[in-house]
Amino acid sequence: MNKIIKNTTLIIVLIILIGILFLSFNSITGETIKNYSWTKAICNETNYCQDYEIVCNGEDVVSIAPTGAVIQNSHDWKDPRDEETINKFCE
């Protein structure tokens, strides 16, 4: 019985130490994944605008997928967003 208790205690201590080591390693690297997504209307030269879901990892685009929402604006419509906002995909 005494041997079983020692072995069980040893296994529990090893599991705890491995867990602490794993958590310490993740915090030492300091890497944080900054995945986020948002939607953005992208318009062409005829003012046909389609909404897209944009997935970013930091400043890198991971994927761009259409949401299915579209609108056809009039020929004389002007996009109220500034050029930087129109051309920016990830922050």
**Binning pLDDT at 50, 70 and 90, where does residue 17 land?**
confident
SS3 77: coil
Same-domain check for residues 42 and 70: yes
Select the more confidently predicted residue: 1 or 70. Answer: 70
Same-domain check for residues 26 and 44: no
Number of domains in the chain: 2
β strands within 1-91, DSSP E: 35-43, 48-57, 60-72
Same-domain check for residues 24 and 53: no
Domain span at residue 43?
35-74+83-87
Same-domain check for residues 22 and 4: yes
| CB-based contact 50:64 (threshold 8 Å) | no
Same-domain check for residues 10 and 22: yes
**Binning pLDDT at 50, 70 and 90, where does residue 70 land?**
very high
User: Is pTM, for the whole model, over 0.75?
Assistant: no
